[in-house]
Structure 1
Amino acid sequence: MRDLPDDDTWLRDSQRRIGERIRAERLRQNLTQDDVWIAAGIQRWTYQRVEAGEDWRGSTLLRIAWVLDVPLAELLGDGRP
C-alpha cells in the first residue's frame, strides 16, 4: 500500500489530464460541448468543469464516456500522475 503525497497536486493534475482526454475525443468526433452535455443529460457547467479538470462525480464520467462511445478506462488513462 502506498501513502498519499503530502498535497493534492497529483490529484488536480490527474483530473486535468482526464479533462484533456475528454476534450480531445469530443473534438476528434467533431462535437460541441453542447452536443455532449445535452446527450449526457448533465448541466452545461458540469460538463465545462469536467473538461477544465475540476472536480466531478464518477457517474458524470460514465455518462460522458457512454455518449462519446469510449471506454471509461480510455478516458481515465493509467491514473498515475
Structure 2
Amino acid sequence: MRDLPDDDEWTPDRLRAIGDRVRAERRRQGLTQDQVWQAARVDRRTVQNIEAGHEMKVGTLLRIAWVLEMSPADLWG
C-alpha cells in the first residue's frame, strides 16, 4: 500500500484524464453532450463539468459509461 502525496496536486490531472476519455469516446461515437446527458439522465452541466475535469460522483460516471458503452475501468485508464 502506498501513502498519499503530501498535497492533492495529482488529483486534478487524474480528473482531467477521465474527462478527456469521456469526451474522446463521445466524439468518437459522434454524440453531442446533449445526447449524453439526456440518455444518462443527468444535468447538462454535469457532463460539461466531467469533461472539464471537475469533481464527479462515481454513480454519475457509471451512468455515462453505460450510455457510452464503456467499462468503468476504461474511464479510469
**Normalising by the residue count of structure 1, what TM-score does the alignment of the two structures yield?**
0.92
Deviation at 1:45, TM superposition (A): 0.7
**Separation in 2, partners of 1:37, 1:76:** 20
TM-score normalised by L of structure 2: 0.97
Q: Secondary structure at the match of 2:59?
A: helix
Number of matched pairs: 77
Determine the structure 1 residue equivalent to 2:40.
Answer: 40
Flag as ranges the 4+ runs of structure 1 deviating above 6 A: none
Q: Distance in 2 between matches of 1:69 and 1:30?
A: 13
- The root-mean-square deviation of aligned C-alpha atoms, in Å, is 0.6
In the TM superposition, residue 7 of structure 1 has moved relative to its aligned partner by 1.1
Aligned residue in 1 for 2:75: 75
Residue matched to 1:51: 51
Structure 1: 5+ residue runs without aligned partners? Answer: none
For structure 2, the residue ranges without an aligned partner over 5 or more in a row are none
**Structure 2 residue 20 is matched with structure 1 residue 20:** yes
> What is the aligned-residue identity percentage?
60
